[in-house]
Amino acid sequence: MPRDVTMPQLGMAQDAGKIVAWLKAPGDPVTKGDALFEVETDKATMEVEAQASGYLTGVTAGEGEDVPVGAVIAQISDSADDDTKIKQLTVIKDEKDELPIGNSVTMPQLGMAQDTGLLVNWLKSPGDAVTADDLLFEVETDKSTMEVSVGFDGYLAATLVEAGQEVPVGAPVAIISADKPSNPVARSVKATAAPAPAPEPVAEKPAPKRQEKKPAPPPAAAAGGRILASPKARRLAREQGLDLALLVKAGHPQPYHVTDLDTLRPMPAETPLATAAAATMSLTAEIASDGFTDFAAWAAAQGLTDADALLAGLAGASLTVPCVVAIDRFGQQQSFAVPAGRALLAVTRTDDAPDLILRDLRGTALRSVTLGATETPVLTLMAGAQGLTIALECAPSQLDAPAAIQLLTTFAGRMEHPLHHLL
């Protein structure tokens, strides 16, 4: 299935970006992480990476064009000649309600890999007076739930999305007017495919031979082999003893939100025997030297004094997707939000549930560990005979075998040569 390429939001105040140059041409093969195009805003010029592997198709915006945040400008497809129509946003319009004039509030982009956000709840009602700093609505992505401020002084003249709807990044969700509206508007949205052109008449051909229907392919794995779910959905599933892996096996699309738990609850749990048979994967790597200690000292001299944030950044970047990493020492945890790519400066502290735990046992006498899988994959750092020993323990539902091998191999390389991460 094609993956949309959208104009990213590089700042909360950004509503458009200019395409400086395409670094790949239509039909070119791309690998996840390849630089696709350069985008310029009023604050910076940066390269945007591909979020999937395949072929670049359906390019709709050229160099020099200003493109709204969230607009689909291309696709990454399974083949170079894919002609799947790009989806567009359609407003379900009540003809008697004309939209008022005012400033648009759009769905923000909270991560480079985010295409949509779930509008969980409106915090203001149509017609309410608002200020720029007032909280307008709650939005949930696969990584976080946050409240979004209005951004303008005035009145909530129109809401264009209902609570509980998925909205593309950059799509308008509300209108703030300067004057109090006499008839505030409330609407809904839906995603529809752009209409296909009428087929050209062709000469009649013999009916093709009937072919056996092939079984549907299994659901695609999430990026990095992880189960994508919002922090709230993860927390409730954990509290209620629900296994999100059952949704994956049943083919339900990710990311999972709280509403998906209603589908999960009636599903029969796996038998203890089946669960125990594939309960844990355990991998161990050894590196000749601990390069992180010297790297942390060098970084501190550059002003990066939080060594745990650096450690979390190296571990999180090894997953290749935005994630939350918890550093654990003797049961004390501190979590960090890690963006995708090589962005150690952008690592921040967070209270969100972790996607990965890094247990630091370098100051102990332990040289090996086998504790079994937990609710989150765990990387364990231990002092080796010369360098470091790094263990990874996880369940197959959290990371498949190739993803687990890739995670441990990449992280081990970064711990041995941290500066390579910055190059």
Each residue's pLDDT tens digit, 96-117: 457 888 888 888 876 655 677 8
145 and 120 in contact (C-beta within 8 Å)?
Answer: yes
Length of the chain: 423
pTM: 0.39
* DSSP 8-state class, residue 220: P
Q: What is residue 32's predicted lDDT score, i.e. its pLDDT?
A: 84
When pLDDT is cut at 50, 70 and 90, the band that residue 404 belongs to is: confident
Q: How many Cβ atoms from other residues are within 10 Å of residue 347's Cβ?
A: 23
**Tens digits of per-residue pLDDT, 5-36?**
887 766 555 677 888 889 999 989 999 888 88
* DSSP 8-state class, residue 266: T
User: Residue 127: what residue type?
Assistant: G
Residues of the chain with pLDDT > 70: what percent?
Answer: 78
Please say if the pLDDT value at position 276 is more than 80.
no
100 and 177 in contact (C-beta within 8 Å)?
Answer: yes
Please say if the pLDDT value at position 90 is more than 50.
no
Buried b / exposed e over 29-42, threshold 16 CB at 10 Å, is: ebebebebbbbbbe
Q: How many Cβ atoms from other residues are within 10 Å of residue 206's Cβ?
A: 5
Share the mean pLDDT of the chain: 78
As given in the structure block, the two tokens for residue 13 are 């105040």
Report how far residue 188's alpha carbon sits from residue 182's, in angstroms, rounded to the nearest whole number: 20
* DSSP 8-state class, residue 319: T
Q: What is residue 202's predicted lDDT score, i.e. its pLDDT?
A: 44
SS (H, E, C) 58-127: CCCCCCCCEEECCCEEEEEECCCCCCCCCEEEEEECCCCCCCCCCEEEECCCCCCCCCEEEEEEECCCCC
Q: How many angstroms separate the first and last alpha carbons of the chain?
A: 33
Query: Which residues are CB-neighbours of 362 under 8 A, at least 6 positions away?
Result: 290, 381, 382, 383, 388
Query: Which residues are CB-neighbours of 324 under 8 A, at least 6 positions away?
Result: 143, 231, 316, 335, 336, 337, 338, 350, 352, 353, 354, 355, 356
**Tens digits of per-residue pLDDT, 295-353?**
889 888 888 889 999 999 888 888 877 889 999 987 788 999 988 776 677 888 998 88
Report how far residue 51's alpha carbon sits from residue 32's, in angstroms, rounded to the nearest whole number: 5
Mean pLDDT of 222-226: 49
